[in-house]
């Protein structure tokens, strides 16, 4: 729930609300005031309608805010950078080159994963708060969660389970294990040295078919050939519509079919369906969920994961887990007095070694809220004690009388700065320490940003992200950037690929510590393996926490994922930026401040099955 300073303190700084802009014509703009994809037309192309916000114009309170910002910069301990605007923008000119295709004997599903980058991890798990409760005894029995996931025994393969898809057929896991991908892998039976002759071909489906069912997650190509640049990936079991009256026959595919809303797919991955097209937003959320499903971290020493339930019961062939491991849970099975959880990659773990994450419910402010806020506003949150209340003094002096205290992340007006730059006036006779505020400084677009284009501005010093359409701020929120030693890169970049969900694995910066974080939702890569993405494992937004990426709360990540370019068609699990559909610009500027040692409080995780 968003916290606000009492109205009496905000009113003096509230600017007049500009006239409303054009009405939002997108099918659904319920997500934090941002347009979200709609499948109403059956094509799965998300809306790109403008936001229903105030009309464009100069930045709100520009002159007063500019004076405040100048004073703020002048009294800053260390000056940050402009995010590369004044220099070249080499890192933003093109996405990293992809590896050249090579021969492979992998299953044809590898085609759908051939362009996935190798990732560095961004879990910040070592700093997570530990639960205050005592560890369960070895024979303790885990209680089932109130809402259990469905697991169906596989009669053909005893000890294994099936998960049914939307059509009642076995559904394979869609999670990507990014480190295991073979870039450029080709389908079985394809002659990689074949020619490129293409010829028109009749659509190989009955004319009365209502849609084409995607048999497995597959890459969509820009042109009807296997070496064409990828557009994205459409998820398994989606029903799509084809375009045109003819397909294209080539040496690598009997018939390339053009699908809605764009791109080409080989017909071997499609099958006719007499029902209408059906796609859904990915990742799929149940009503009331912040993240898709349940996530947990593995605790204890010498914990093993088992490839099947039978082997788990026998405690055989278990894989010893090393480092910090987080998993997404797919279902649970109770055998005698023990409960086992199945993860999205098909492994089994005892429930007693898992601690469930409770994702943050924090969210930023959208364009409508920004229009009602003062020209310059901030979140009140201590950098050294982020969960503590923020003290408000009667004068810019730590010895002055305490007027009140503010809950963390209360929104306040920024009205004036003390002469020494250490205190900020939020109302008459109400002063807050500068280090206890995270100010949303509105800024002009870099010259590289096209007029009216959507772009993101990340202020590392304030730990604040502001989303813009041209010069107009439409969203602002707190983020967590890289910790000291694993800094987030400064500069001007472009989003080059987006994933509905992505596994992240890698090594830490100190020692030989390894990490694995499962199915991170709403991930947008902007520079090599640096990304903006959900952090379901902590609630310390406003404080550097990551290994270099930009952490967002689930609500913020979902909203910005749907809003930022390139747009993701509904039913697609991944999309590439292209020359015709480039990604949004991301400017990262300033310098993150070192923070004090965080207190150990139980805010991040609880035992799976605990009430």
For the cut 90, the answer to whether the pLDDT of residue 35 exceeds it is no
Rounded Cα distance, 536 and 555, in Å:
10
Between 376 and 343, residue with greater pLDDT: 376
**Residue 594 CB neighbours (<10 A):** 11
For the cut 60, the answer to whether the pLDDT of residue 47 exceeds it is no
Whole-number percent of the chain with pLDDT over 90: 39
Q: Is the pTM of this model over 0.85?
A: no
Rounded Cα distance, 603 and 543, in Å:
15
At residue 79 the predicted structure's pLDDT band, cuts being 50, 70 and 90, is low
pLDDT the model gives residue 511: 45
H runs (alpha helix) in 526-611:
554-563
pLDDT the model gives residue 324: 73
Question: Domain map of the chain by residue range?
Answer: 377-440
Mean pLDDT for 442-455 is 96
Of 143-152, 463-472, 515-524, the one with minimum mean pLDDT is: 143-152
pLDDT the model gives residue 335: 76
Q: Of 573, 458, 553, which is closest to residue 32 (Cα–Cα)?
A: 553
Of 190-199, 202-211, 281-290, 405-414, the one with minimum mean pLDDT is: 190-199
pLDDT the model gives residue 200: 73
At residue 351 the predicted structure's pLDDT band, cuts being 50, 70 and 90, is confident
Q: What's the per-residue H, E or C state across 281-295? A: CCCCCCCCCCCCCEE
For the cut 70, the answer to whether the pLDDT of residue 483 exceeds it is yes
Residue 405 DSSP SS3 = strand
Mean pLDDT for 236-263 is 88
For the cut 60, the answer to whether the pLDDT of residue 26 exceeds it is no
Between 552 and 144, residue with greater pLDDT: 552
Q: What angle do CA 18, 24, 30 make, to 5 degrees?
A: 105
pLDDT the model gives residue 247: 82
At residue 350 the predicted structure's pLDDT band, cuts being 50, 70 and 90, is confident
pLDDT the model gives residue 408: 96
Q: Are 460 and 546 in contact (CB under 8 A)?
A: no
pLDDT the model gives residue 182: 34
Rounded Cα distance, 263 and 283, in Å:
21
Strands (E), 203-250: 211-214, 218-221, 230-234, 239-240, 246-250
Q: Are 46 and 40 in contact (CB under 8 A)?
A: no
For the cut 90, the answer to whether the pLDDT of residue 468 exceeds it is yes
Which of 66-70, 96-100, 407-411 is modeled with the greatest confidence? 407-411
Strand 550-552, strand 530-534: pairing: parallel
Rounded Cα distance, 485 and 472, in Å:
34
Mean pLDDT of the chain: 72
For the cut 60, the answer to whether the pLDDT of residue 175 exceeds it is no
pLDDT the model gives residue 329: 80
Mean pLDDT for 347-374 is 92
Instruction: List the strands of the sheet with 410-413, edge to edge.
Output: 3-4, 410-413, 377-380, 437-440
For the cut 80, the answer to whether the pLDDT of residue 526 exceeds it is yes
pLDDT the model gives residue 207: 72
Going from the C-alpha of 477 to that of each of 32, 101, 289, the distances in angstroms are 11, 40, 20
Mean pLDDT for 411-417 is 96
pLDDT the model gives residue 307: 78
Between 79 and 505, residue with greater pLDDT: 505
Between 70 and 315, residue with greater pLDDT: 70
For the cut 50, the answer to whether the pLDDT of residue 530 exceeds it is yes
Q: Of 106, 31, 118, 81, which is closest to residue 364 (Cα–Cα)?
A: 31
pLDDT the model gives residue 346: 81
For the cut 80, the answer to whether the pLDDT of residue 176 exceeds it is no
Rounded Cα distance, 455 and 54, in Å:
18
For the cut 70, the answer to whether the pLDDT of residue 145 exceeds it is no
For the cut 60, the answer to whether the pLDDT of residue 192 exceeds it is no
Between 395 and 509, residue with greater pLDDT: 395
Rounded Cα distance, 22 and 50, in Å:
8
Mean pLDDT for 120-129 is 32
For the cut 60, the answer to whether the pLDDT of residue 319 exceeds it is yes
In whole angstroms, what separates CA 397 from the centre of its chain? 41
Mean pLDDT for 160-180 is 32
For the cut 90, the answer to whether the pLDDT of residue 36 exceeds it is no
Mean pLDDT for 89-111 is 36
Going from the C-alpha of 512 to that of each of 144, 323, 508, the distances in angstroms are 35, 9, 7
For the cut 80, the answer to whether the pLDDT of residue 573 exceeds it is yes
> 482-506 burial by CB neighbour count: b if 16+ within 10 A, else e?
bbeebbbebbbbbbbbbbbbbbbbb
pLDDT the model gives residue 44: 40
Strands (E), 70-176: 152-153, 161-162
Of 147-161, 291-305, 352-366, 553-567, the one with minimum mean pLDDT is: 147-161
Of 12-16, 536-540, 573-577, the one with minimum mean pLDDT is: 12-16
Give catalytic residue positions.
533, 549
H runs (alpha helix) in 240-372:
309-314, 367-372
SS3 content of the chain, % helix, strand, coil (to 5): 10, 30, 60
Strand 161-162, strand 497-507: pairing: unpaired
For the cut 60, the answer to whether the pLDDT of residue 141 exceeds it is no
For the cut 70, the answer to whether the pLDDT of residue 150 exceeds it is no
At residue 70 the predicted structure's pLDDT band, cuts being 50, 70 and 90, is confident
Q: Are 604 and 475 in contact (CB under 8 A)?
A: no
pLDDT the model gives residue 467: 98
Sign for the pseudo-dihedral over CA of 381, 385, 386, 387: negative
> 242-266 burial by CB neighbour count: b if 16+ within 10 A, else e?
beeeebbbbebbebbbbbbbbbbbb
Mean pLDDT for 118-146 is 33
pLDDT tens digits for 284-313?
888 889 999 889 888 877 888 877 777 777
pLDDT the model gives residue 450: 95
Whole-number percent of the chain with pLDDT over 70: 64
All residues at 6 or more sequence positions from 281 whose CB lies less than 8 Å from its CB, including other chains: 36, 37, 39, 570, 571
For the 377-440 domain, the top CATH level (class) is mainly beta
For the cut 80, the answer to whether the pLDDT of residue 162 exceeds it is no
Strand 454-459, strand 585-589: pairing: parallel
For the cut 80, the answer to whether the pLDDT of residue 202 exceeds it is no
For the cut 50, the answer to whether the pLDDT of residue 177 exceeds it is no
At residue 115 the predicted structure's pLDDT band, cuts being 50, 70 and 90, is very low
């Amino acid at each position: 729930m968003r916290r606000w300073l009492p109205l009496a303190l905000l009113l003096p700084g509230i600017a007049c609300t500009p006239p409303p802009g054009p009405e939002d014509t997108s099918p659904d703009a319920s997500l934090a005031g941002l347009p979200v994809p709609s499948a109403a037309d059956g094509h799965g192309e998300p809306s790109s309608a403008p936001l229903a916000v105030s009309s464009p114009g100069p930045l709100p309170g520009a002159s007063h805010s500019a004076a405040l910002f100048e004073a703020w910069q002048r009294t800053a301990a260390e000056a940050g950078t402009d995010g590369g605007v004044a220099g070249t923008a080499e890192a933003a000119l093109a996405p990293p080159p992809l590896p050249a295709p090579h021969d492979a004997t992998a299953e044809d599903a590898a085609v759908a994963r051939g362009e996935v980058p190798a990732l560095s991890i961004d879990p910040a798990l070592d700093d997570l708060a530990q639960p205050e409760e005592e560890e369960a005894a070895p024979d303790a029995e885990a209680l089932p969660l109130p809402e259990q996931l469905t697991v169906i025994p596989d009669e053909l393969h005893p000890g294994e389970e099936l998960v049914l898809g939307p059509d009642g057929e076995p559904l394979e896991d869609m999670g990507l294990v990014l480190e295991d991908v073979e870039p450029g892998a080709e389908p079985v039976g394809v002659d990689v040295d074949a020619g490129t002759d293409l010829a028109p071909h009749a659509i190989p489906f009955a004319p009365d078919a209502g849609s084409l069912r995607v048999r497995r997650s597959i890459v969509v190509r820009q042109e009807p050939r296997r070496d064409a640049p990828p557009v994205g990936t459409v998820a398994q079991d989606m029903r799509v519509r084809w375009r045109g009256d003819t397909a294209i026959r080539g040496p690598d595919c009997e018939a390339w079919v053009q699908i809605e809303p764009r791109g080409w797919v080989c017909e071997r991955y499609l099958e006719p369906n007499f029902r209408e097209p059906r796609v859904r937003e990915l990742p799929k959320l149940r009503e009331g969920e912040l993240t898709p499903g349940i996530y947990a971290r593995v605790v204890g020493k010498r914990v093993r994961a088992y490839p099947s339930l039978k082997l788990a019961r026998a405690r055989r062939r278990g894989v010893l887990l090393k480092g910090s491991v987080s998993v997404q849970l797919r279902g649970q099975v109770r055998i005698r007095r023990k409960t086992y959880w199945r993860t999205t990659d098909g492994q089994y773990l005892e429930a007693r070694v898992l601690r469930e994450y409770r994702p943050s419910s924090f969210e930023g402010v959208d364009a409508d809220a920004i229009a009602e806020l003062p020209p310059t506003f901030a979140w009140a949150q201590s950098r050294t004690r982020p969960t503590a209340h923020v003290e408000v003094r009667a004068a810019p002096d730590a010895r002055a009388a305490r007027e009140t205290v503010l809950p963390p992340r209360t929104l306040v007006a920024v009205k004036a700065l003390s002469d020494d730059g250490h205190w900020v006036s939020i109302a008459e006779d109400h002063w807050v320490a500068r280090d206890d505020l995270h100010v949303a400084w509105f800024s002009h677009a870099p010259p590289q940003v096209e007029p009216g284009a959507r772009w993101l501005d990340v202020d590392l010093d304030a730990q604040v992200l502001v989303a813009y359409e041209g010069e107009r701020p439409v969203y602002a929120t707190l983020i967590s950037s890289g910790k000291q030693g694993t800094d987030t890169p400064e500069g001007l970049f472009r989003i080059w690929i987006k994933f509905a969900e992505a596994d992240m694995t890698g090594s830490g910066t100190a020692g030989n510590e390894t990490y694995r974080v499962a199915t991170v939702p709403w991930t947008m890569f902007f520079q090599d393996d640096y990304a903006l993405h959900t952090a379901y494992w902590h609630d310390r937004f406003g404080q550097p926490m990551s290994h270099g990426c930009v952490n967002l709360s689930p609500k913020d990540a979902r909203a910005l994922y749907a809003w930022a370019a390139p747009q993701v068609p509904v039913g697609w699990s991944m999309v590439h930026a292209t020359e015709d559909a480039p990604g949004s610009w991301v400017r990262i500027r300033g310098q993150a401040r070192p923070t004090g040692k965080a207190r150990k409080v139980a805010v991040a995780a609880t035992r799976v099955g605990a009430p």
